[in-house]
């Protein structure tokens, strides 16, 4: 298959895939607002395996050890991992944005330990209401931005405190729209959902980036193959030319060396077509006359085989176009070189050159058959 044709089909295919993917995402995927609560750590600060008689652990006047209590530190990350930016107006005015702690109580007001941008770190306020809920300021959280808080809790030693998110954001129909995730959870978002995340521009950019990387990888793989194949093909033609020169009694000179040059630069089909033309003196005359007589193209067309004729007449049967295409072809260029050297004219073809060409075509027909 022609390399240019193969790459054309390859590019067309991926273009159709890309357009279809973008249209699918735009038409069928709805943008999703989502805030996730990710419990990044939930660790016990008092990890005492055995009873120690005189050991006392006092926190705010209470002996934690004697009351069978634990102090735990929870690191909680709140992130906008939906498809849109969330502003303060997205939050419901009727439900606090924060969380409730079950199976334990908040020992101290949670502390902000990290934020993805200065706006959040400067404007986020954390408080505890009268019901023991942790309440965050309702502020803008852009897509993929987050903040992280550290929470000190007290709980019974035989239980583990659990974060219950509270709040409501517009655009989400469910009554409990905030997602809680723990880093040790076995649950993971499906591949298909992850594939559809992001805006149309994100998908468009992702498609072209992946396509470029894919094409580069394919090209890196195929280029050495094409290069090696062309190299081996050239070496084989050089070897055949050299053997023909060494093993025949035909005269090899500056003129006949052109035949080997045409074979190496073009291909076997080129020298076969050259022989077909030079065997027909009327055809040679018609080709030379093309410069002054465009109607001579009719004789040229009769000489072409089906594939060459199809290529020459593609998308046009206008004589002017056909003359221009033929006179721009490599065969015409090589015939002009032969004419300039006096090997061909409107009245004759140099017979020694023609004899050498016939023997060479016969030789390569055996040793280099056309694929």
Largest CA distance in the chain: 124
Write down the pLDDT at residue 1.
Answer: 44
Write down the pLDDT at residue 187.
Answer: 43
Q: How far apart are CA 328 and CA 214, in angstroms?
A: 36
Q: β-strands 179-182, 35-44: how paired? A: parallel
Q: How far apart are CA 112 and CA 116, in angstroms?
A: 12
Write down the pLDDT at residue 76.
Answer: 93
Write down the pLDDT at residue 126.
Answer: 95
Tens of pLDDT, residue by residue over 120-179, are: 999 999 998 888 889 999 999 999 999 999 999 988 888 888 888 888 888 776 644 455
Write down the pLDDT at residue 184.
Answer: 45
Q: Is the pTM of this model over 0.75?
A: no
CB contact at 8 A, 364 and 263: yes
Q: How far apart are CA 63 and CA 56, in angstroms?
A: 6
Strand segments (E) across the chain: 35-44, 58-59, 62-63, 69-80, 98-102, 105-106, 111-115, 126-128, 134-136, 146-156, 162-166, 179-182
Write down the pLDDT at residue 53.
Answer: 55
Write down the pLDDT at residue 173.
Answer: 66
Half-sphere exposure of 275 (CA within 13 A, CB side): 20
Write down the pLDDT at residue 149.
Answer: 96
Token output for 166: 């509270």
Burial 124-154 (b: 16+ CB within 10 A, else e): bebeeeeeebbbbebbbbebebbbbbebbbb
Write down the pLDDT at residue 17.
Answer: 60
Token output for 196: 């559809």
Q: How far apart are CA 326 and CA 179, in angstroms?
A: 70
* pLDDT under 50: residue ranges of the chain: 1-2, 175-177, 183-188
């Amino acid at each position: 298959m022609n390399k240019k044709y193969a790459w054309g089909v390859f590019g067309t295919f991926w273009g159709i895939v890309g357009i279809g993917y973008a249209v699918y995402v735009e038409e069928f995927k709805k943008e999703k607002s989502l805030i996730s609560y990710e419990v990044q750590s939930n660790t016990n600060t008092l990890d005492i395996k055995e009873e120690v008689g005189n050991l006392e652990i006092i926190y705010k006047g209470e002996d934690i050890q004697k009351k069978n209590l634990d102090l735990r530190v929870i690191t909680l990350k709140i992130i906008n991992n939906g498809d849109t930016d969330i502003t303060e107006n997205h939050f419901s005015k009727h439900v606090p944005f924060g969380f409730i702690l079950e199976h334990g109580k908040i020992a101290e007001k949670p502390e902000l330990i990290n934020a993805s941008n200065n706006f959040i770190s400067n404007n986020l306020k954390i408080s505890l209401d009268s019901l023991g809920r942790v309440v965050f300021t309702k502020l803008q959280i852009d897509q993929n931005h987050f903040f992280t808080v550290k929470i000190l809790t007290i709980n019974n030693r035989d239980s583990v405190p659990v974060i219950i998110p509270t709040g409501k954001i517009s655009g989400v129909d469910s009554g409990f729209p905030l997602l809680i995730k723990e880093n040790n959870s076995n649950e993971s978002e499906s591949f298909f959902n992850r594939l559809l995340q992001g805006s149309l521009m994100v998908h468009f950019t992702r498609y072209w980036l992946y396509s470029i990387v894919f094409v580069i990888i394919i090209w890196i793989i195929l280029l050495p193959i094409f290069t090696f194949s062309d190299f081996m093909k050239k070496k084989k033609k050089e070897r055949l030319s050299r053997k023909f020169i060494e093993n025949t009694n035909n005269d090899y000179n500056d003129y006949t060396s052109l035949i080997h040059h045409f074979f190496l630069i073009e291909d076997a089909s080129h020298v076969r077509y050259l022989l077909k033309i030079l065997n027909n003196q009327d055809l040679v005359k018609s080709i030379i006359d093309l410069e002054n007589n465009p109607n001579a193209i009719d004789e040229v067309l009769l000489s072409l085989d089906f594939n060459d004729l199809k290529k020459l007449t593609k998308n046009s049967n206008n004589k002017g176009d056909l003359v221009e295409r033929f006179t721009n072809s490599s065969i015409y260029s090589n015939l002009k070189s032969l004419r300039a050297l006096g090997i061909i004219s409107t009245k004759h073809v140099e017979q020694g050159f023609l004899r050498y060409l016939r023997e060479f075509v016969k030789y390569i027909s055996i040793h280099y058959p056309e694929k």
